[in-house]
Structure 1
Amino acid sequence: MSTQEIVFVTGNSNKLKEVQLLLSSVTNYKLTNNPLDLEEIQDSSLEEIVRKKIQQAVALLPKGTPVFVEDTALGFNALNGLPGAYIKWFVKKMSLDDIVKLLDGFEDHTGEAVTTIAYSDAKGEINIFQGITKGKIVNKRGNLDFGWDSLFEPLAEEGNVESLTYGEMEKEFKNKLSHRGKAFKKFEEFLVKN
């Protein structure tokens, strides 16, 4: 079987490194990166956001280029899923401490981390994959280099028996139970079969 190039559109070097680890067992594709400047669609639906992003990427790349994009959300149950897909902007405009303070006054500090991937194959057919991890929002602990990782503590039922935040976890352990890891596991299974 020949190796085909697949393009991941991201300008986030941390995300690229994590995805390279997550897809390292896919041998029928060679992962490359293109940091295309895609319009950031604002919508509460991750599926709609990635669908619009993949359509833009397909239009900008040579015809027939297999390509994928992803988007991640962090929703607080007490806030009916907000900030959700807008978490990226909250992290840019607020301190991590202030994001946690959004839940002051609420008993419920649980939430969901969600990653949604859109993939367009060489024929332009789009497939969407999603991973969800339930957890709670806590005061920052651990590595602060990757967005809101230090605020999110997956629940024990997700496999986090030591009550670590993503920021405190070793990458390999994090990838096994994270929302991104779950989404890319589905994507990986799809790529291996196709």
Structure 2
Amino acid sequence: MKILKFLILALFLFSHYLEAQSGTEKNEKEFSDYTSYFQKQWPENYWLTNVYLINGSGVKQEGTFNILIDDGFIKKVISTRQKIESSEKVFDYAGHTVIPGIVRVHNHMRLPQGALLYSSPKLYLAGGVTTIQTCGTGNPDEELAISQYIERGEQPGPRIINSSPYFLVLMARRTLFVLLLKMLLDRKSGNGQKKV
């Protein structure tokens, strides 16, 4: 039991190490032509004006707002009654609703039928998800590669926090194999057959 606890802790720490290695430092990205096709190139700092706001608190926000975006993050939210006194570019999005990026913490990049590595990152973004944490995989190299492609701007997608490879699945498969083998051997020797 102590070994299992140690392995779980080690895998947890390793997943956070991988996250730290995935490039959290601020840098200028050059997007590939493919990624640029899906992304609107925004200035570093800008205002979204006259928008409705869902802030995630559950409290309905009355009226419309002006939102200052600084390097991709919401820096300031003010009522539209307040005057914007800065030189940032202004985009009027009257009638639109803004939400902060959604963070999902249990995500699969593949289904039993096959990998969705090409389409799932774009689908997450289309749904407003800007950060995901995977929940383990049988193919960690695939997910790590996709997160690196996204980080380098070669493919559109949300920020991916990679988790560890599956470690209980292998044990479960071995256990299932042993049980099936035992059933076959018992049946062959007559121990598993019912007499009518």
Q: Same fold (TM over 0.5)?
A: no
Q: Which has the higher contact order (CA 8 A, sep 6+)?
A: 2
The alignment's TM-score, normalised by the length of structure 1, stands at 0.21
Higher-Rg structure is 2
